Structure 1
Amino acid sequence: MSLDKENMLELFENFKAAIVKLMEERDKLATEADEIRGARREAEEKAWQIEEDLKEAKTELIEKEKVIRTTEAEKVAAEAKIDELTKEIEDLKSDTSKEDQLAKVTAERDELKKEMDEITSKLERVSELYRETTAEKEKLAEKVDVSDLLGIYITLIETVFGGKPHARVLYTLHNTQTAIPRKNLEKSTGIMPTAILKAIHDLRNAGLVDYDEESQEVKLLKDIL
């Protein structure tokens, strides 16, 4: 009888040890499960961050493309005006009685050349920023920091191009499907009528807008933004 009791006690101890081992295994599995869940959350957060970086980089690329197209349009208009003034200068050189007018036109051409050089320089800077952002988007080795780039191209639009009649006319005509009366452009931009008319003629010569002399309506021919 005592032998049976000893066997029962031994079985009980073995059973208890098995239960303890099972509980330890359960705790270990629970810890591993927590680690797996944590790793999954971390992976999901990283995937989400990468997706956000991609969206942000894509948005920046689109904005820079707009700036580049706007700048290129400004450059085309300036080049067309320079060609026009150069031809006018050649015509005036043959007429010595128009020396004052020649000096005025020459000064205007030189000023326009200076402005075009400025536009070309800004275009090169924005294009370089565009290439840099494209490279960052492709690599995604680190978060794309575009705050400085944003500041540059916003300043470029507002302070370099925003105050010029040509750009203001183009911006106002953007996204319009119909012609706009010249007087409406004068009111919406707040620019002097003579400056608006000159800008319209320059843009028409560059093939960017159409201007009806009779109705005095302007229509954008090329969507630049």
Structure 2
Amino acid sequence: MTDREKLIEQIDDFKSTVVTLIDERDKLQSEGEELRTAKREAEEKSWAAEEKLKEIENDFQKTKDEKDNAETELAMAKAELESVKTRAEEAESSKTEAVDAIRAERDELKKEMQEINDQLGRVSELYREASAEKEALAEKVDVSDLLAIYITLIETVFFGKPHARILYTLHDVKTAITRKNIASSTGIMPAAVLKAVHDLANADLVKYDDVTQEVELTKDILRRG
């Protein structure tokens, strides 16, 4: 082989080597691009995973907070329910006591009214007996005798009843006093005082103010200074 042929062969080998190197370079560049793409995709997936993890953590914390709030509200609701039940029981107890007190006062009023009616019946009976006795003697009824009977009955019998005791109290103080003070000073139950005051007001013996609850005599029955 001549030198020229050897040179040509060497040139061909060099060309082949260059082509091979270029191919390998292109291959490496392609692989590098693929690696960069894969790296970028991996980074994007990593970022997405981190965002998803943060979202999950936020959702978890939100759920935990909602659970804690729900438990707190449940505890408050239970406490309020217990409070309502306690107040209801207390109200029921107070209602029962109030009803019992009203019934007792009603029974006492009925008893007192019956006693008053009985005493009034006795007054009428005494009047009839006195009148019959005077007529039998062909004499007129002595008004002073009858008045003495009334005074005796008032002082010995009716003084213990609400109406008379309230009138005596008003005559003693000579000014308007509240219904509450009448009850405390006489010892009469408030319901009985209220009933007696209305009876006396209807008979125009006293004036009663529903707003101030003050009672005042309209006339001086005893004619005392």
- State the TM-score, normalized to the length of structure 2: 0.45
The structure, 1 or 2, with the larger RCO (C-alpha pairs under 8 Å, 6+ apart) is 1
- State the TM-score, normalized to the length of structure 1: 0.45
